[in-house]
Amino acid sequence: MPAKKTANKTRRPRPAAATHRKGVASRKNRTIPISVFGNVLKQFDTAARKLSLDRSICEFVKIPRRSTIVNLPVRMDDGTYKMFTGYRVQHSIARGPSKGGIRYHLGVTLDEVQALAAWMTWKCAVVNIPFGGAKGGIVCDPFKLSEGELERLTRRYVADMIKLFGPEDDIPAPDVGTGPRVMGWFMDTYSMKENHSVPGSVTGKPIVLGGSLGRNEATGRGVMLSVREAAKCLKLDLASTTAAVQGFGNVGSISARLLHELGVKFVSVSDVTGAIHNPAGIDIPALIKHVEKKKSVLGFPNAKRIEPEEVLFANVDILIPAALENQITGDNAARVRCRIVAEGANGPVTPEADKILERKKILVIPDILCNAGGVTVSYFEWVQNRMAFAWTEEEVNHRLEEKMVAAFNDVMKMARDHDTSMRIAAFMLAILRVVEVVQLRGIYA
Ligand code: NAD
């Protein structure tokens, strides 16, 4: 019997269609979608040129190792079957098992998943954890699926890709549109096939299933730590700074809350439903409660509604894009007015925009450093699962801070030594770490 639709289905917010669009570039009055993987290749090539590396090794490390596409039938609540497309891209296993989240979103494409997988390789190398990079995604709108439909979709995805996954092979985690609930189903499906519980098969699980304390907050905490270190470099007193955040999900809301606790005044916030502004400062903990109830930042008391794109151009010290890729592009970067862009999201600034922001002397803390807190604590979760021993939240947060501060300083030193941006410096550091391992292992060709 098909399961009954749950109340969850109606509680989920409906995103505004127009805001689903990811980056486009205008060329001679035509709009062309920006290739996200193309952006990663440009970032890689710029950094690799500065390192004067062997070209054949560069070709080996920059292209994804394996890309898998599956068509997934799912029984819907009304008894019909619907097909969904799922992807898993394993970019690199040079430094360890491949690691990366699973995204549920209507805009998921192979190009996007390849880019996100590649960024995972470079991110894990920047924070120096023993993982390669991967990413997965399913083309779907999770807000329009019931809980039962989401569970069946998740289980079918895991079942179809089961040979790719495993604690020594490829370990997923949450991303946009997924969270601990989906990770719980993932772990259960994988464990059923293995005939015993395998908590290390996935990270970002509910705590009682072997999730790590501090994992839910880890990406936002990493963003906060990166901003704190950047503010020190620019001699900014955080308690007298202002900020804006685009995207108020896991990364956006938690980084805003932690920075708010350090005295940062948030004046503009957006999510997929719209944007709000209050020059006197938005009470972030109250906004988090409002969003929990209303599933939207709109309607928050003492804030006026503004156009969503205004958030990116707010006159603030710190801008945190924490939604999707290609938000700040060659077409709009000139309008960005902050001093620090902290990339909570993956790929929110295109290579063309990077050049413009650099000319404007805006410090961009690149995604592969800024949002690496999530994968760092995912690594801690995997370590705890392997030891069958749980650390305290203080221990997790302390180790995360050590990793993030060390990575920030490594990247900043590279940037200063080579007179380059933090993005290119982060890529240079990561490429050197991956290439060293590849040279020592040798290429089985
Ligand atoms: P999420 O689903 O929890 O939140 C996404 C937020 O972005 C929501 O508030 C949504 O309303 C908003 N949003 C979507 N489209 C928007 C638009 N066009 N304009 C404004 N807001 C929009 O996802 P998340 O986990 O917070 O991930 C956000 C970004 O951070 C993604 O790029 C993801 O890859 C990256 N990231 C996430 C993690 C993690 O641990 N969750 C780790 C590293 C990087």
State which ligand 1 atom lies nearest to the alpha carbon of 325: 32
Cβ atoms within 10 Å of 32's Cβ, excluding its own: 11
Q: How far is the CA of 209 from the centre of ligand 1 (A)?
A: 24
Do 110 and 87 meet the contact criterion of CB atoms below 8 Å apart? Answer: yes
Do 336 and 362 meet the contact criterion of CB atoms below 8 Å apart? Answer: yes
Residue length, the chain?
A: 445
List Cβ neighbours of 314 (8 Å cut-off, separation of 6 or more): 244, 267, 268, 277, 337, 338
Residue 33's pLDDT is: 73
The domain defined by 65-209 folds into Rossmann fold (3.40.50)
Coil, strand or helix at 297: coil
DSSP string, 237-265: -GGG-EEEEE--SHHHHHHHHHHHHTT-E
Candidate of 250, 370, 404 to mutate for ligand 1, largest count of ligand atoms within 8 Å of Cβ: 250
CB distance 248 to ligand 1 below 6 Å: yes
Candidate of 324, 370, 400 to mutate for ligand 1, largest count of ligand atoms within 8 Å of Cβ: 324
CA distance 153 to 103: 13
Question: Which among 135, 205, 265, 403 is annotated as catalytic?
Answer: 135
Q: How far is the CA of 143 from the centre of ligand 1 (A)?
A: 14
Do 264 and 241 meet the contact criterion of CB atoms below 8 Å apart? Answer: yes
CB distance 308 to ligand 1 below 6 Å: yes
CB distance 326 to ligand 1 below 6 Å: no
CB distance 251 to ligand 1 below 6 Å: yes
Q: How far is the CA of 253 from the centre of ligand 1 (A)?
A: 10
Residue 104's pLDDT is: 98
CA distance 43 to 206: 35
Residue 143's pLDDT is: 94
Residue 322: which of 207, 175, 445, 192 has the closest Cα?
A: 175
Q: What are the CA-CA distances from residue 189 to residues 83, 140, 152, 325 (Å)? A: 20, 20, 10, 30
Task: Look at ligand 1, atom 14, and give the residue with the nearest C-alpha.
Answer: 272
Distance of CA 166 to the CA centre of its chain: 21
The alpha carbon torsion through 246, 329, 237, 225 (nearest 10 deg) reads 70
Residue 95: which of 135, 59, 124, 127 has the closest Cα?
A: 124
Tell me if 65-209 shares its fold with 212-445. Answer: yes
Domain ranges of the chain: 65-209, 212-445
CA distance 126 to 432: 10
Residue 331's pLDDT is: 97
Written as one letter, the residue type at 6 is T
Do 325 and 115 meet the contact criterion of CB atoms below 8 Å apart? Answer: yes
Written as one letter, the residue type at 136 is G
Residue 5: which of 153, 181, 146 has the closest Cα?
A: 146
Q: How far is the CA of 196 from the centre of ligand 1 (A)?
A: 33
Residue 259's pLDDT is: 98
CA distance 77 to 440: 53
Written as one letter, the residue type at 348 is P
Q: How far is the CA of 159 from the centre of ligand 1 (A)?
A: 26
Distance of CA 72 to the CA centre of its chain: 24
Residue 14's pLDDT is: 41
Give the angle 143-109-27 at the CA atoms, nearest 5°: 115
Residue 10's pLDDT is: 39
Known catalytic residue: 360? no
Residue 11's pLDDT is: 41
Candidate of 104, 113, 205, 272 to mutate for ligand 1, largest count of ligand atoms within 8 Å of Cβ: 272
CA distance 183 to 179: 6
Q: pLDDT by residue (tens digit) across 411-440?
A: 999 999 999 999 999 999 999 999 999 999
Pick out the chain residues at pLDDT < 70: 1-32
Find where tokens 């799912």 sit.
74
CB distance 287 to ligand 1 below 6 Å: no
**Tokens linked to 322:** 């924490």
Written as one letter, the residue type at 31 is T
Residue 210: which of 235, 192, 191, 234 has the closest Cα?
A: 191
Q: What is the DSSP letter of 166?
A: B
Q: How far is the CA of 251 from the centre of ligand 1 (A)?
A: 6
CA distance 422 to 349: 13
Task: Look at ligand 1, atom 4, and give the residue with the nearest C-alpha.
Answer: 249
Q: How far is the CA of 94 from the centre of ligand 1 (A)?
A: 28
State which ligand 1 atom lies nearest to the alpha carbon of 367: 44
Q: pLDDT by residue (tens digit) across 244-272?
A: 999 999 999 999 999 999 999 999 999 99
List Cβ neighbours of 440 (8 Å cut-off, separation of 6 or more): none
Q: What is the DSSP letter of 89?
A: E
Do 361 and 338 meet the contact criterion of CB atoms below 8 Å apart? Answer: no
CB distance 100 to ligand 1 below 6 Å: no
Give the up-direction half-sphere exposure of residue 426: CA atoms within 13 A in the CB hemisphere. 26
CB distance 246 to ligand 1 below 6 Å: yes
Extended beta strands in 142-256, E state = 170-171, 242-246
Coil, strand or helix at 349: strand
Distance of CA 144 to the CA centre of its chain: 22
Residue 1's pLDDT is: 37
CB distance 174 to ligand 1 below 6 Å: yes
Q: How far is the CA of 111 from the centre of ligand 1 (A)?
A: 18
Class of domain 212-445: alpha beta
